[in-house]
Amino acid sequence: MLEIEQLTFRHSSGFTLCVPHLQIAPGEVRAVLGTNGAGKSTLLRLMSAEQPSRGQVALHGRPLECWRPTERARHLGVLPQASNLDFAFTAREVVALGLTPLSLGWRDAGRVVREVMRATDCEHLATNSYTALSGGERQRVHLARVLLQLSQAELAPVLLLDEPTSAQDLGQQHRVLQLACDLARERGYAVGAILHDLNLALRYAKYCTLLHAGRVVTCGTPAEVISGDNIERYWGYTPTLLTAACGRTVVA
């Protein structure tokens, strides 16, 4: 459970982000939506205490700064949008960096590393050099690393994803988000994901938070937040909302 209360952040450029209240509960996938520059990535950085801010961010009821760093790392994982790791680790070694806050024996460690690599569909890349991987493969390797870091959590872990599908092909986009949903449903993960693709948010998120110019403008179920009005007002685009045969709304 990650809870934000009265969060305020002012950037030197004048940009201000204000979030009076936001919660990501165990078992839910919450999509954070908004246009470029709305403050989504800033919000993610504040939620993971990467950037100091006014207000409080609490993980399982305890302020983030009160957690021991390794204990916090076992319960709060962040997948960055991109990583510029410039050293020739193998993909497995990059994933194994997720063992840093854990204390696993080498046999268990090997098993868990294989499991997370299989779950993120990068097991076949294990011995490849990280620097030779494609953008999408790198993103999945880092996702495996973050999942590894959360694999031994005693309480429901919180997984924050900054555009986890930005470098993925169509099939992988769905696999990555389906994995997030499965983790939320089966293991009680609280997932917060910044998404640009509204159709993915409609399909996989349980709740959505829409940011605009540093303010939360609306929160609710995907159907409530991703409405024709909201898309027109905040994205400046008049969408066609279709209803698929399965009953799901599609933004075109």
**Contact residues for other proteins (CB under 8 A)?**
45, 48-52, 69-74, 76-78, 80, 83-90, 93, 97-98, 100-101, 131-132, 146, 149
Q: Which tokens go with 246?
A: 């399965």
CA distance 179 to 166: 16
Cβ 35 to other proteins, closest distance in Å? 24
Cβ 48 to other proteins, closest distance in Å? 6
Strand ranges across the sheet with 190-194:
62-63, 54-59, 2-10, 16-24, 215-220, 207-212, 29-34, 190-194, 158-162, 76-79
Torsion angle of alpha carbons 82, 84, 90, 91, nearest 10°?
0
- Of 54, 51, 42, the closest CA to residue 211 belongs to 42
Identity of the residue, 97 or 250, whose beta carbon is nearer to other proteins in the bound complex: 97
Identity of the residue, 71 or 108, whose beta carbon is nearer to other proteins in the bound complex: 71
Identity of the residue, 151 or 230, whose beta carbon is nearer to other proteins in the bound complex: 151
Cβ 111 to other proteins, closest distance in Å? 19
Chain centroid, CA 64 distance in Å: 17
Cβ 44 to other proteins, closest distance in Å? 11
Identity of the residue, 57 or 225, whose beta carbon is nearer to other proteins in the bound complex: 57
